[in-house]
Structure 1
Amino acid sequence: MLRPLLLVHLFSTTLFFHLHLLPSSAEAGAANSTVNATDYIRTSCHTTQYPDLCYTSLVSYADSVQENPARLARVAIGVSLSRANRLAVYVRNLTIRGEYGPDPRAGAALHDCFSLFCDAVDQMRGSLDQMRRLKGEGEELAFEMSNVQTWMSAALTNEETCTDGFEDVADGPMKTDVCVRVVKVKKVTSNALALVNSFVANSKVMSP
């Protein structure tokens, strides 16, 4: 992975998300009302493992999502990417400051966690780019979405592996803090993957 380049764009992803992820105002203006879009997001979130978190993290994008499952999946990936970015920066700062005590296993777990989150960020960026460039139908769309599913699943696995790395680390404030933060990001990523899978399933149903 291109770590130096990744660290440069860790701080710019939120801006990228707001400038490039969402549809144009003209496109959004042709869709249904915000009330219907809000209800759509709430209903769609019922397919996720953490529906309340799903709704609260995505409802502010209702005007842009409207009732479009592809947009909803795209926004969910963007939200997950933004949060993973912030956590990667947070963990990186911990490693730089050496705030993990004398236990060498703690330092190793932190470095591994940062590396894993860098990989997860790369994978989610690939997913987001693919979602923004969807052009196919039928088998071509299935291939494009299989890439998104693979990358999002891999990102979630990397996040889970981060917490696994702390199992042999002695309990303490740093371990608790990092693991709690990672679990929050994992939940958002899990929800994003569920919405991607839901979009894929609905696309297959609608295919001739």
Structure 2
Amino acid sequence: MGKISISLLLLILSIVVAVESTSTGRLHPRLPTFVETQCRKTRYPEPCVTFLSNYVNPTSQDPQEIVHAALKVSLVRAIHTKTYIKNVLKEHNKKMKELQNLNLDGQEEFVWHQSNVQTWLSTVLTDAYTCLNGLNSGHSNCGKVKATIKAKVLNVAQVTSNALALFNGFASRYNSSHHG
């Protein structure tokens, strides 16, 4: 349910951004916002604008506010990525615990347990092979998980790089005005 909600939220956000950009871009060219101007100085300007626009007041001209927002975005994205990876590992560990918790007492229950064990082992084996194939080819669910993890880690790197660039620019201007 959570994945569906996040996907739906991202879809709606993408549509709103697309409509906004097409409705404002052609007839009346606008001046870049302060966030856009500051983000041009970073290594990853597009994600910088995308994420910071949600955290910074549109009329703000305060570089400190942008730096604060960039630090917050970096932290939030890192926490989301950590949670995603943790959930993937948790699901895998859950399957393994089910196998470890089997109680094979009694002949009558053995047939039932045998069927469960065979099903669970087959599932784990299939998942393992699917994952191995996905790591090599990128066409399986595991490949999708790997790609998702890679994308999330790349996103954390980008927003953190942007936060560092914005902070360094702010610190440089601050030091120049107070010590120069």
TM range (shorter): 0.5 to 0.7
Alignment of 1:46-85 (within 5 A): 46-63=40-57, 66-85=60-79
Max Rg structure: 2
Query: Residue 176 of structure 1 corresponds to which residue in structure 2?
Result: 147
Partner-residue secondary structure (3-state), 2:57: helix
Unmatched 5+ stretches in structure 1: 1-34, 107-168
Higher relative contact order (CA 8 A, sep 6+): 2
Check the 8 A contact 1:45/1:55 in 2, yes or no: yes
User: How high is the sequence identity, in percent, across the aligned residues?
Assistant: 29
- Scaled by the length of structure 1, the TM-score of the pair is 0.46
Query: Residue 166 of structure 2 corresponds to which residue in structure 1?
Result: 195
Aligned length: 110
Task: Give the distance between the partners of 1:185 and 1:43, measured in 2 at CA.
Answer: 21
Check the 8 A contact 1:80/1:189 in 2, yes or no: yes
- Scaled by the length of structure 2, the TM-score of the pair is 0.52
Unmatched 5+ stretches in structure 2: 1-29, 94-123
Task: Give the distance between the partners of 1:56 and 1:73, measured in 2 at CA.
Answer: 15
State the Cα RMSD in Å: 3.1
Deviation of 1:170 (Å): 3.8
Task: Give the distance between the partners of 1:91 and 1:97, measured in 2 at CA.
Answer: 10
- Structure 1 segments of 4+ aligned residues over 4 angstroms from their partners: none
Partner-residue secondary structure (3-state), 2:56: helix
Alignment of 1:1-208 (within 5 A): 39-63=33-57, 66-98=60-92, 101-102=127-128, 170-171=135-136, 172=138, 173=143, 174-208=145-179
Check the 8 A contact 2:81/2:152 in 1, yes or no: yes
Query: Residue 29 of structure 1 corresponds to which residue in structure 2?
Result: none
Cα distance, 1:204–1:87 mapped onto 2, change above 3 Å = same
